[in-house]
Chains A and B, each alone.
Chain A
């Protein structure tokens, strides 16, 4: 849950369980803030991860990702629940 004041920073959340490690989000992120993680997830893929800062909330990764629930992007000023 996020506090109701809204996000000061945009952010991206990868739901690792649903990520197939295709790398399309990583290749497309204009800010280069996504990377391939070392560990394997339950599906046997190296999931994508967020470096933790620098996401602008542009949404590119969301629209590159084939998995409905693997990525969520929260834009600056977002108020509400975290879903992914």
Chain B
């Protein structure tokens, strides 16, 4: 007969073990604070809908930062203003979860202004509770985007002046101009009647999500007696007398009825669809058989560096593309100098038998340096026992390290002899795969058409790769 009893919701912890305070059965909120009331309404709805086990409460930065002290749900405390972005990630990864983004006006309308617009515009299937108390409560009462004209705060001691601080932002009205949101309503934690409307809006926002209808935002006008420097009872009166004028209550958008109840949808990416785009064989089908190189060349982490325009990024892409065709896990990330052309460019490449944790290569096992500054800059980073490949035509001072293998070749000179200086990167590619035997020639050749758009240049590129391979064969004999 729970309906005949109104008491602390099960979705709150009985004892707030996570609070560092010695008193573990009261919240940290100031007397009369609206956050407490809204929390109660949300917890009650979670109880009643039976969704506690799959609810994830995203706390903001603001007075409600400690949501995880109280809510007996999943919890994440988000970076300031970023709850809608974090909520998006959670919801997309776990579409069955019920994700609540709980945010204050500083959090949502100031620092997180763009996050909320984008999440609303994408129509994320989440429920946002936006607590508008017209102030930054947590930090001691500064002006918020929603602070009323004339309202005194610590940062608007003479009252908010539109000429200086602009006008209070009406978030609900703004969000309601977007196509995607399903439900946007502004309610007020005022008297019993209004509070009951908040209760209904909370439940509607959550049931929209349960029914997979899409994005709901409930703006809740709420008192901050401490920030406003009033007693709780005065604060309620002030909210009623002044906030209501600037922030009219009502439903600003509601498509809940027209949207049917839907099954939750995982954002599925077909692996074969992706493989197809990349012109790779379907999963399960054999990738090219390659022999493994010697252990010292396995799972290379490469840093490739040179002048912008030397084709460094392309060289990395080529390796990654070929590695992928040989069945390796691969990654490639570019790192541009301040100016692309004329500046230095480098990229990081991994070819690995295992999944790659981070694409960033900070201790390369292979450094390719196509100019002197690159060698000078990265030589010290190379892992002991690693390999440094450099262009003897452009690097007058060779590597000094004694604990690494060094392969110098006049790549640019060879490229010149082939009639195109810009093909030096492919000569280096040939030299590297020839030296390490990480990939056979056929695999490299199979990757070239994927990246070289001008097909008439393919023979020249193949020739350059072969010249690089020949160079290391001659060297070895």
Contacts and interface: CB of A to CB of B under 8 A. Distances in A.
Contact of A78 (B4, B31, B195, B196): B4
A33 interface: no
A75 B27 contact: no
Interface in A40-84: 42-43, 45, 58-60, 62-80, 83-84
B321 to A, nearest CB: 57
Interface residues of A, number: 37
A69 to B, nearest CB: 4
Centre residue among B31, B191, B199, B233 by max chain A CB count within 10 A: B31
A84 B40 CA distance: 15
Contacts of A28: 191-192
A73 B2 CA distance: 11
A77 B4 contact: yes
B41 interface: yes
Nearest to B33: A66
Contact of B32 (A20, A60, A72): A20
A45 B32 CA distance: 12
Contact of A67 (B5, B27, B236): B27
B5 A75 contact: yes
A78 B25 contact: no
Contacts of B6: 59, 62-63, 71-73, 75
> A interface, by DSSP: helix, strand, loop or mixed?
loop
Given A24-B232, A24-B236, A43-B23, A74 B4 contact: yes
- Which residue, of B7, B36, B43, B232, has the highest number of chain A Cβ atoms within 10 A? B7
A66 B35 contact: yes
B407 interface: no
B470 to A, nearest CB: 77
Nearest to A60: B192
Nearest to B14: A69
Given A27-B233, A67-B36, A74 B5 contact: yes
28 contacts: A17-B25, A17-B26, A18-B25, A20-B31, A22-B233, A24-B32, A24-B236, A43-B23, A45-B31, A60-B192, A62-B6, A62-B7, A63-B6, A64-B192, A64-B195, A65-B37, A66-B29, A66-B33, A66-B35, A66-B40, A68-B36, A74-B4, A75-B4, A75-B5, A77-B4, A78-B1, A78-B5, A79-B4
Interface of B: 1, 4-9, 12, 23, 25-27, 29-37, 39-41, 43, 70, 191-192, 195-196, 199, 225, 231-233, 236
